[in-house]
Amino acid sequence: MTTTTVTARAVLLDMDGTLVNSDAVVERVWRRWAERHGLLGDDVLKVVHGRQGHLSMAILLPERPVAENLAENRLMLAEEAADTEGVVPIAGARAFLEALGGFPHALVTSADDTLARVRMAAAGLPLPPVLVTAELVSASKPNPEGFLAAAAMLAVDPADCLVLEDSEAGVAAGLAAGMRVLGIGPRAGAHGPTFHVPDLTGVAVAARDGVVSIALPGSRV
Protein backbone atom coordinates (compact mmCIF):
# COMPACT_ATOMS: atom_id res chain seq x y z
CA MET A 1 0.00 0.00 0.00
CA THR A 2 1.32 3.43 -0.96
CA THR A 3 1.60 5.97 1.86
CA THR A 4 1.78 9.70 1.17
CA THR A 5 3.19 11.99 3.87
CA VAL A 6 1.97 15.59 4.02
CA THR A 7 3.46 18.29 6.26
CA ALA A 8 1.76 21.45 7.51
CA ARG A 9 1.95 24.10 10.23
CA ALA A 10 -1.82 24.14 10.83
CA VAL A 11 -4.73 21.82 10.07
CA LEU A 12 -8.13 23.32 9.21
CA LEU A 13 -11.04 20.93 9.56
CA ASP A 14 -14.51 20.98 8.12
CA MET A 15 -17.09 19.26 10.35
CA ASP A 16 -20.02 17.61 8.54
CA GLY A 17 -18.82 14.77 6.34
CA THR A 18 -15.22 15.28 7.42
CA LEU A 19 -15.28 14.65 11.17
CA VAL A 20 -18.98 14.01 11.77
CA ASN A 21 -21.37 11.88 9.72
CA SER A 22 -24.58 13.91 9.97
CA ASP A 23 -26.01 12.78 6.64
CA ALA A 24 -29.09 11.24 8.27
CA VAL A 25 -30.09 14.56 9.88
CA VAL A 26 -29.23 16.64 6.82
CA GLU A 27 -31.32 14.37 4.63
CA ARG A 28 -34.33 14.44 6.98
CA VAL A 29 -34.31 18.21 7.42
CA TRP A 30 -33.64 19.15 3.81
CA ARG A 31 -36.07 16.64 2.33
CA ARG A 32 -38.80 18.19 4.48
CA TRP A 33 -37.71 21.62 3.28
CA ALA A 34 -37.79 20.42 -0.34
CA GLU A 35 -41.31 19.06 0.07
CA ARG A 36 -42.51 22.36 1.56
CA HIS A 37 -41.19 24.21 -1.48
CA GLY A 38 -42.26 21.75 -4.15
CA LEU A 39 -38.72 20.63 -5.00
CA LEU A 40 -37.24 17.17 -5.41
CA GLY A 41 -35.30 16.06 -2.36
CA ASP A 42 -32.55 14.42 -4.43
CA ASP A 43 -31.98 17.66 -6.33
CA VAL A 44 -31.80 19.67 -3.12
CA LEU A 45 -29.30 17.29 -1.51
CA LYS A 46 -26.94 17.76 -4.46
CA VAL A 47 -26.65 21.45 -3.51
CA VAL A 48 -26.67 21.72 0.27
CA HIS A 49 -23.50 19.93 1.41
CA GLY A 50 -20.77 22.29 2.55
CA ARG A 51 -22.72 25.52 2.16
CA GLN A 52 -24.55 27.69 4.65
CA GLY A 53 -28.25 26.99 4.41
CA HIS A 54 -29.27 30.44 3.19
CA LEU A 55 -26.84 30.19 0.27
CA SER A 56 -28.27 26.80 -0.67
CA MET A 57 -31.75 28.34 -0.55
CA ALA A 58 -30.60 31.21 -2.78
CA ILE A 59 -29.36 28.71 -5.36
CA LEU A 60 -32.52 26.59 -5.18
CA LEU A 61 -35.01 29.48 -4.97
CA PRO A 62 -33.23 32.23 -6.92
CA GLU A 63 -36.22 34.58 -7.01
CA ARG A 64 -36.79 34.60 -3.25
CA PRO A 65 -35.64 37.63 -1.21
CA VAL A 66 -32.44 37.24 0.80
CA ALA A 67 -34.23 38.22 4.01
CA GLU A 68 -36.59 35.26 3.66
CA ASN A 69 -33.68 32.88 3.14
CA LEU A 70 -31.88 34.21 6.19
CA ALA A 71 -35.00 33.93 8.34
CA GLU A 72 -35.76 30.39 7.23
CA ASN A 73 -32.11 29.41 7.65
CA ARG A 74 -32.26 30.37 11.33
CA LEU A 75 -35.23 28.03 11.75
CA MET A 76 -33.42 25.26 9.86
CA LEU A 77 -30.32 25.57 12.06
CA ALA A 78 -32.46 25.22 15.18
CA GLU A 79 -34.22 22.22 13.63
CA GLU A 80 -30.88 20.57 12.85
CA ALA A 81 -29.50 21.27 16.33
CA ALA A 82 -32.54 19.59 17.90
CA ASP A 83 -32.03 16.40 15.87
CA THR A 84 -28.96 14.29 16.69
CA GLU A 85 -30.35 10.87 15.81
CA GLY A 86 -27.82 9.06 13.65
CA VAL A 87 -25.02 11.59 14.21
CA VAL A 88 -21.79 9.58 14.50
CA PRO A 89 -18.08 10.25 14.02
CA ILE A 90 -16.39 9.63 10.69
CA ALA A 91 -14.21 6.53 11.03
CA GLY A 92 -10.88 7.52 12.56
CA ALA A 93 -11.92 11.08 13.44
CA ARG A 94 -11.53 10.83 17.20
CA ALA A 95 -8.05 9.32 17.03
CA PHE A 96 -7.04 11.94 14.46
CA LEU A 97 -8.21 14.86 16.62
CA GLU A 98 -6.58 13.43 19.73
CA ALA A 99 -3.30 12.97 17.86
CA LEU A 100 -3.33 16.64 16.81
CA GLY A 101 -3.29 17.54 20.51
CA GLY A 102 -1.83 21.01 21.07
CA PHE A 103 -0.79 21.42 17.43
CA PRO A 104 -2.49 24.42 15.74
CA HIS A 105 -5.82 23.33 14.30
CA ALA A 106 -9.27 24.83 13.79
CA LEU A 107 -12.81 23.84 12.94
CA VAL A 108 -14.09 25.75 9.89
CA THR A 109 -17.75 24.94 9.35
CA SER A 110 -20.84 26.32 7.63
CA ALA A 111 -22.80 25.44 10.79
CA ASP A 112 -23.42 28.07 13.42
CA ASP A 113 -21.70 27.84 16.80
CA THR A 114 -24.62 26.07 18.50
CA LEU A 115 -25.00 23.42 15.82
CA ALA A 116 -21.23 22.84 15.65
CA ARG A 117 -21.03 22.21 19.39
CA VAL A 118 -24.14 20.00 19.38
CA ARG A 119 -22.91 17.81 16.54
CA MET A 120 -19.35 17.45 17.82
CA ALA A 121 -20.70 16.47 21.25
CA ALA A 122 -23.23 14.05 19.73
CA ALA A 123 -20.39 12.37 17.83
CA GLY A 124 -18.23 12.24 20.96
CA LEU A 125 -15.48 14.37 19.43
CA PRO A 126 -13.29 16.99 21.14
CA LEU A 127 -13.62 20.56 19.90
CA PRO A 128 -10.54 22.09 18.27
CA PRO A 129 -9.13 25.14 20.10
CA VAL A 130 -10.33 27.53 17.36
CA LEU A 131 -13.82 27.55 15.83
CA VAL A 132 -14.76 29.51 12.72
CA THR A 133 -18.52 29.14 12.40
CA ALA A 134 -21.18 30.78 10.24
CA GLU A 135 -21.52 33.81 12.51
CA LEU A 136 -17.87 34.78 11.99
CA VAL A 137 -17.83 35.06 8.19
CA SER A 138 -19.67 37.22 5.69
CA ALA A 139 -19.46 34.68 2.84
CA SER A 140 -20.12 30.94 2.81
CA LYS A 141 -18.01 28.25 1.21
CA PRO A 142 -16.98 28.02 -1.64
CA ASN A 143 -15.73 31.49 -0.69
CA PRO A 144 -12.35 31.01 1.09
CA GLU A 145 -13.07 33.57 3.84
CA GLY A 146 -13.53 31.01 6.62
CA PHE A 147 -10.27 29.20 5.93
CA LEU A 148 -8.33 32.45 5.58
CA ALA A 149 -9.82 33.67 8.88
CA ALA A 150 -8.75 30.46 10.62
CA ALA A 151 -5.21 30.75 9.25
CA ALA A 152 -5.02 34.35 10.51
CA MET A 153 -6.33 33.36 13.95
CA LEU A 154 -3.66 30.66 14.15
CA ALA A 155 -0.99 33.03 12.77
CA VAL A 156 -0.05 30.57 10.02
CA ASP A 157 0.51 31.38 6.34
CA PRO A 158 -2.27 29.90 4.17
CA ALA A 159 0.29 28.01 2.09
CA ASP A 160 1.36 26.18 5.26
CA CYS A 161 -2.17 25.01 6.09
CA LEU A 162 -3.78 21.68 5.25
CA VAL A 163 -7.57 21.70 4.84
CA LEU A 164 -9.71 18.59 5.41
CA GLU A 165 -12.97 18.71 3.46
CA ASP A 166 -15.68 16.43 2.07
CA SER A 167 -17.79 18.62 -0.23
CA GLU A 168 -17.44 20.36 -3.58
CA ALA A 169 -17.95 23.77 -1.96
CA GLY A 170 -15.44 23.02 0.78
CA VAL A 171 -12.75 21.70 -1.53
CA ALA A 172 -13.16 24.76 -3.75
CA ALA A 173 -12.91 27.08 -0.72
CA GLY A 174 -9.71 25.47 0.51
CA LEU A 175 -8.05 25.61 -2.89
CA ALA A 176 -9.19 29.22 -3.39
CA ALA A 177 -7.49 30.06 -0.08
CA GLY A 178 -4.19 28.84 -1.51
CA MET A 179 -4.16 25.78 0.73
CA ARG A 180 -3.69 22.11 0.05
CA VAL A 181 -6.84 20.07 0.53
CA LEU A 182 -7.18 16.53 1.83
CA GLY A 183 -10.51 15.26 0.56
CA ILE A 184 -12.39 12.90 2.88
CA GLY A 185 -14.92 10.41 1.53
CA PRO A 186 -16.72 9.88 -1.77
CA ARG A 187 -18.14 13.39 -2.22
CA ALA A 188 -14.70 15.00 -2.10
CA GLY A 189 -12.97 12.69 -4.52
CA ALA A 190 -14.83 14.00 -7.56
CA HIS A 191 -13.84 17.63 -7.02
CA GLY A 192 -10.06 17.76 -7.35
CA PRO A 193 -8.63 17.82 -3.81
CA THR A 194 -4.85 17.75 -3.54
CA PHE A 195 -5.04 14.39 -1.76
CA HIS A 196 -7.90 12.02 -1.07
CA VAL A 197 -8.67 9.24 1.43
CA PRO A 198 -11.93 7.34 2.06
CA ASP A 199 -11.98 8.30 5.77
CA LEU A 200 -9.55 9.02 8.62
CA THR A 201 -8.90 5.40 9.53
CA GLY A 202 -5.16 4.80 9.83
CA VAL A 203 -4.24 8.42 9.08
CA ALA A 204 -1.20 8.88 11.31
CA VAL A 205 -0.20 12.21 12.88
CA ALA A 206 3.22 13.18 14.24
CA ALA A 207 3.99 16.75 15.35
CA ARG A 208 7.48 18.09 15.99
CA ASP A 209 9.12 21.53 16.03
CA GLY A 210 5.98 23.29 14.83
CA VAL A 211 5.39 20.98 11.89
CA VAL A 212 2.87 18.16 11.71
CA SER A 213 3.44 15.17 9.44
CA ILE A 214 0.32 13.34 8.34
CA ALA A 215 0.71 9.91 6.76
CA LEU A 216 -2.11 9.01 4.38
CA PRO A 217 -2.34 5.27 3.79
CA GLY A 218 -3.56 4.36 0.32
CA SER A 219 -4.16 8.00 -0.57
CA ARG A 220 -4.82 9.28 -4.06
CA VAL A 221 -2.79 12.33 -5.09
Per annotation, catalytic residue among 16, 160, 166, 199? 16
- Tell me if residue 16 is catalytic: yes
Helices 53-60 and 41-48: crossing angle in degrees, nearest 10, is 130
- Tell me if residue 166 is catalytic: no
CA atoms of 65 and 58, how far apart (whole Å): 8
Per annotation, catalytic residue among 14, 112, 160, 199? 14
Q: Which of 151, 174, 202 is nearest to 10 (CA)?
A: 151
Sign (positive/negative) of CA torsion 42, 46, 52, 57? Answer: negative
| Cβ contact 134:52 at 8 Å | yes
Sign (positive/negative) of CA torsion 175, 52, 149, 151? Answer: negative
Q: What residues are labeled active site?
A: 14, 16
